[in-house]
Amino acid sequence: MKKLLLALACCTAAATVSAAGNVTAGKALADKYACATCHGKDYNSPIDPSYPKLAGQHRDYLAHALTAYKRGDGANGRNNAIMTGQVKPLSNQDIQDLAAYFHSLPGTLVNHR
């Protein structure tokens, strides 16, 4: 019984990682494309107050935002001179991985209710 539970835990976790993006791959991509140059060290201290903090934001929101920059002027797109260039080389899997990575970082954003 114990073995069966372990097997289930192993495979459920593995399936979740691939569907939700891979944090390690996301970190490698963020380093490769130097996203921290603007979004700041630890993705909590952007170089300009008008630039967003990425750390701790919801994974699905981050993926949605990056996809919107890819759409540009299209439906549900975002047209931003800076980010349009940044997302050009990213595949859909890259976007999922980056979103998983930023989401995994401790953020300073809070919800006031």
Kindly give, in sequence order, each residue whose CB lies less than 8 Å from that of residue 6, ignoring residues fewer than 6 positions away.
none
Number of residues binding to ligand HEC, judged by CB under 6 A: 18
What residues between 30 and 59 interact with ligand HEC by CB under 6 A? 33, 35, 37-39, 51-52, 54, 57
From the list 23, 55, 83, 100, which residue makes contact with ligand HEC (rule: CB under 6 A)? 83
Burial 9-46 (b: 16+ CB within 10 A, else e): eeeeeeeeeeebbbbebbbebbeeeebbeebbeebbeb
CA distance 16 to 38: 30
Shortest distance (Å) from residue 24 CB to ligand HEC: 15
Chain positions contacting ligand HEC, by CB under 6 A? 33, 35, 37-39, 51-52, 54, 57, 62, 65-66, 78, 80, 82-83, 86, 98
